[in-house]
Chain A
Amino acid sequence: MHIAEGYLPPLHAAAWGAASAPFVIHGARALSREVKSHPESTLLLGASGAFTFVLSALKIPSVTGSCSHPTGTGLGAILFRPPAMAVLGTITLLFQALLLAHGGLTTLGANAFSMAIAGPWAGYAVYRLLRRLALPPMVCVFFGAFAADLSTYCVTSVQLALAFPDPSSGFAGALAKFGGIFAVTQIPLAVSEGLLTVLVMRLLSQSSTGELVRLGVLAPARPDSTEAVAR
């Protein structure tokens, strides 16, 4: 899903950088305010970012028998909210470019837009919408993670189609071409990531209720109730 270094023409790379900037700056300001008012949040946010980075190192068994890795954007957005993910995701992408040679620096803006902005916002919107419809929490988590993964892949396809329109059918043809090629791997992966996110959330709701309450994912337990109720 990462667009490789040098893949985008200079103008496109700059334009996607400019498109990502407001979200990242907004997230950075929110993060700075949070750290200034609660200095202890630095470590918690750092741990959250590290968790997002390490999530992308886990290998998912894919439908075809090979392995791939989750984007972690859906889980990150549900746990830490999209504005925080814009910053944490961008830092993660920077680390991936420098430490793992995944993605790149000229394509950082484009990758941040798809993976740290569009994916988390889409996933979080779907999650919140389904929660409002009073669906079971794990169904919401599945579709949130699925939507985050799928929207990341759709935005990446749009970015590539804009950069390399089809010689015959232009943008629409290129979108079908890139989307079609990615769909073979990404739709099964989105399902896989949705399932994995549900399993992780189930384990977390059993073992880390306190942390989930602190992050606002679970509502604090009422005095007369022993169980935390999902928001």
Chain B
Amino acid sequence: MLPIDAAAHRSGWRHRHPLEKAVLGLGLTLSAVCLPAWPGAPLVAAAALLVLLGPARVPGRQLWRAFRVPLGFCVTGAVPLLFQIGGTGGLVTWAPDGPGEATRLLLRTSAASLGVLLFAFTTPVSDVLPRLVRAGVPAPVVDVALVMYRISFLLLDTVGQIRQAQAARLGHTSRAAAWRSLAGQGATVFVRAFDRAQRMQAGLAGRGYDGTLRVLVPTAAVSARFLGATAGLLAGIGVLTLVLERFVL
């Protein structure tokens, strides 16, 4: 299992209804994207961090390990904004508001990423997928996604084992050997994926498979109190951002 999903299963909010966490996490993300980056994004980020490290009980080290991935993308993506092409000073020069725009982008993407991480770190994907049918996603697409989700972990384990076996047989000692090993990994995963699908098909056929994959979905009621608090938090962040932007900063 991947670290974020494993943490979601252990989260303090594991048993809350996914809709509640979606409204909070994705609400924070949308707030980060739609509100002025300064001071909106720091407020959103602070709220997301408080919830993640507080009631959601996500370990700080795990959160950092997950967050540094989007952070790397955000920093790389902000660098081009520092430069302009074809100004009066030469072909490539510093952009007039480059540092400001790059900082605002960095703040916005960081805060928005924390909002999605709040949802991801508290809601296992296996809780979300079966409920997508109610949201209008066709059942066959959800079934395919469920199978993808289950098989992916097995295949990732397989890739790790193959890589270890190849390394033990000096499969990565030269560039040519590394390429051969890599192609072997891709081809073996393909073969294993189809082999597993065929065996699952045979197993399901023996149990009267009629084309629908029925899975147990943990029952949870949507808490009106939680949704009310979320709406209050999001509205508070919005109002505070606009007030701070207009009258203080």
Contact = CB atoms under 8 A, between A and B. Distances in A.
B103 interface: no
B140 A35 contact: yes
Interface string A203-228: 11001100100000000000000000
A106 B2 contact: no
B83 A13 contact: no
B33 A166 contact: no
Interface string B129-156: 0000000011111011111111110011
B211 A42 contact: yes
Contact of A54 (B85, B189, B201, B210): B189
Interface string B103-144: 001001111110111011000010010000000011111011
Given A35-B140, A43-B204, A106 B29 contact: yes
A48 B193 contact: yes
Interface residues of A, number: 74
The binding surface of chain B is classed by DSSP as helix
A60 B182 contact: yes
Interface string A32-44: 1011100110111
Contact of B140 (A32, A51, A55): A32
A35 B191 CA distance: 22
B29 A169 contact: no
Given A47-B197, A54-B155, A200-B190, A5 B70 contact: yes
Nearest to B186: A200
A99 interface: yes
A174 B249 CA distance: 31
Contact of B149 (A28, A95, A101, A203): A95
A141 interface: no
B200 A168 contact: no
A45 B191 contact: no
Given A5-B29, A6-B112, A54-B159, A203 B187 contact: yes
B54 interface: no
Interface string B169-208: 0000001001110111111011101101110110011000
23 contacts: A6-B29, A6-B108, A9-B33, A32-B139, A35-B143, A39-B210, A42-B143, A51-B190, A54-B156, A54-B193, A58-B159, A58-B182, A87-B144, A91-B144, A100-B4, A101-B4, A101-B113, A160-B77, A164-B80, A167-B84, A169-B87, A199-B182, A199-B187
Interface of B: 2, 4-5, 26, 29-30, 32-34, 66-67, 69-70, 73-74, 77, 79-81, 83-87, 95-97, 101, 105, 108-113, 115-117, 119-120, 125, 128, 137-141, 143-152, 155-156, 159, 175, 178-180, 182-187, 189-191, 193-194, 196-198, 200-201, 204-205, 209-211, 213
